[in-house]
Amino acid sequence: MNQLQDKIAIVTGAASGIGKAIAERFAQEGARVMLSDLHAAPLEAATQRLLEQGYLVHALTADIAREEEVNRLIDETVAHWGGLDMLVNNAGIMDDFTPAADVSNTLWDTVLAVNLSGPFYACRKAIPVFLQQEKGVIINVASIGGLYGGRAGAAYTASKHGLIGLTKNIGYQYAPRGIRCNAIAPGGVTTNIMEHAHIHPAGFERMNAGTANNIRAAEPAEIAQLALFLASDEASFLNGTTVTADGGWTAY
């Protein structure tokens, strides 16, 4: 217990699913957590639940795809808690399994903005804070879709491949300054990410052809436990890498 005592963390996409589980797990381990999400009502509910349990948490609604809102998130976290030690870029959206020929400019731009540009904005804003203190941890929640080509549509796949590349670059470039940057690549996880999806039939059929070997979907808490390890000092020599958490699905 208390692996993150008095550490200050930002978790994006924290109103539900993996982000909510990570925020809760970090708070349980003593961190002061800024929960952020685009959706105000579930964000407030998630934050209030943690406050009622006595945890040190705060909430800020922000659209991760907008640079000015990301900058505000970092600035207000530093102002509210007095610093920043950990950044978890979890917010993300799917692309309805849409193949490249059917991807509209709007879909492409929206998915890349949330899944790749948003984490980049957050990293770019947080790194100077980390450089001043010669330490900091970044965790990017990617996907096995960022490692292979058949787990989603073209936009999502490209965005998560890009996020993993960004993770490697940051991890390498800033390692001498005490900054660690790693990614988690989950397989299927029981979340609401597909709640409002309009699935592309052909794209889904191609993706679904490879799911028979998936033993089950993970619970968000299982991914949160991995995030806790990566955030802790126990993972001090893990940097610039991607940890796959898919129950062995991609081992086939």
Positions marked active-site: 156
Distances 81 to 8, 44, 75, 92 between C-alpha atoms, Å: 7, 18, 10, 25
Give the containing element (helix H, strand E) for 58: strand 57-61
If phi > 0 it is left, if psi is from -120 to 50 it is alpha, else beta; for residue 19 that is alpha
Backbone angles phi, psi at 140, to 5 degrees: -105, 125
How crowded is residue 112: how many other Cβ atoms within 10 Å of its Cβ? 18
Structure tokens at 98: 């849409």
Contact status, residue 72 vs residue 125, Cβ threshold 8 Å: no
**Residue position matching structure tokens 């965790």:** 139
Cβ-Cβ contacts under 8 Å for 157 (sequence gap 6 or more): 145, 146, 149, 151
Give 189's strand partners: 218
User: How far apart are the C-alpha atoms of 214 and 150, rounded to whole Å?
Assistant: 14
